[in-house]
Amino acid sequence: MRAYWPEIPYADWRETCSALHLYTQIVGKYRLARTPWVNHSWHATLYPTARGFTTSLVPDGPSGIEIAFDLLDHRVIGQGGDGRAGSFALAPMSVAQFHAQTIELVRKLGGDATFDGAPNEIPDALAFAQDDAPRPYDGDAATRFFQASSAVARVLQAFRTSYLGKVSPVHLFWGSFDLAVTRFSGRPAPLHPGGIPRLPDAVTREAYSHEVSSAGFWPGGGPVDFAAFYSYAYPAPEGFAQARVRPDAAAFNAAFGEFILPYDAVRRAPDPEAALMAFLESSYRAAADLGDWPAEGLECAPGAPRRPRALA
C-alpha cells in the first residue's frame, strides 16, 4: 500500500508547529537529562511511532519511563515499567503550561523531573517556564504533519538499509525539529567551528566528529519557510554545491550549505517514494564521490524482509 502524503502548508499551521517544536524540546530535554550520553547526541532524540513520536524507554523511575506524543488523539502519554501511567491533552495552552504538565506527569510516573529549562537552537526564545503567551493547537494540522512524517520515515528507513557503514537511526532531532538519518564515512572530520545559536559548541563538535552525509525533513520554520527535505555533507567536499542532485526540483541553498527539495515537489510526483529516494541517493553519491569516501565495504543492496546479508 502506498503511503499517504498529505498537504502540510507551513503558513497555515506556523504557530501550532512552533508550539509543537517547543513541546518536543521539553520532553526531549527530560530524556536528555536522564539518559547516558551516546555518540552524536543519539541518546536525546525522539522516534516515530504508529501514532506520533516517543522518547523510547528512559532509564528513570523504578522501572523506566516512556513519554509519547499521540498526534492522532492529541495527547501526551506517559507510561512506567511498574504499571504507572498518565496523560494530558494537547490543546491550546502556553509553553509554560505544557512545561508544568510535563513535570507533573514525570513525577506521577515516579521519575526525576529535573532538566534544563531553556530552549536550544531557537534564537531569543524564552525559558519554558516563562513563556506564558497563549499558543494555538490545530489538531488536524498536527495529524497531517505526523502522517507526512510517517511517509518520510518509511523512505528514510529504506534508504538506511543500503548502507553497511555506520549509520544513525531515523530519529527526530527536537533542537532543529527535523526527522533525519546520517551516514558516516568512518574517518574523523575537521573540528567543527560551532556557533549554532543556543547550542554548546562541545555538543556540535562531538556531533560532527566524523565525516557525514546527512539528510532529513523539516515541516517548515528552519532554513526555509516551507516543508522541505535537505541533504548536506560535513565537511563539504570541493564541488559539492555544483553536483547534480535529483529530482530537478532540488537545488543547492548557498546560504545554508545544503541541498533543498520542497516537500510539495515530492508529494505531487507520480511516485513520491521514488522521487525522495532519488534525492537521498544522489545527494549522498555527491558527498561520497567528491569526498573520496572508501570505495568498498560501506554500501550494499537495499534490505529486504527475511533476507540476511550475503557474506563475502
Amino acid at residue number 92: P
Q: Which residue has the higher pLDDT, 15 or 123?
A: 15
- For 258-286, what is the mean pLDDT? 98
Q: Residue 1 has what pLDDT?
A: 65
Please state, as a whole number, how many other Cβ atoms lie within 10 Å of the Cβ of residue 67: 26
Q: Residue 3 has what pLDDT?
A: 83
Q: pLDDT class for 297, splitting at 50, 70, 90?
A: confident
Q: Please check the confidence at residue 312 and state whether its pLDDT lies above 70.
A: no
Checking 137-140 for CB contacts under 8 A at 24+ apart, the result is 137/16, 137/19, 137/74, 137/90, 137/91, 137/92, 137/93, 138/12, 138/13, 138/16, 139/74, 139/90
- For 195-224, what is the mean pLDDT? 94
Q: Please check the confidence at residue 81 and state whether its pLDDT lies above 80.
A: yes
Is this prediction's pTM over 0.95? Answer: yes
Q: Residue 223 has what pLDDT?
A: 75
State the pairing for strand pair 178-188/228-234. unpaired
pLDDT digits (tens, 9 = 90+) for 145-173: 999 999 999 999 999 999 999 999 999 99
Amino acid at residue number 229: F
Q: pLDDT class for 221, splitting at 50, 70, 90?
A: confident
Omega prior to 36 cis, within 30 of 0: no
Pairwise CA distance, residues 108 & 112, whole Å: 10
- For 47-69, what is the mean pLDDT? 98
Q: Residue 296 has what pLDDT?
A: 82
**Which residues are CB-contacts of 113 (< 8 A; sequence separation ≥ 6)?**
30, 102, 103, 104, 106, 107
pLDDT digits (tens, 9 = 90+) for 105-135: 999 999 999 999 999 999 889 999 999 999 9
**Domain spans, the chain:** 10-130, 139-290
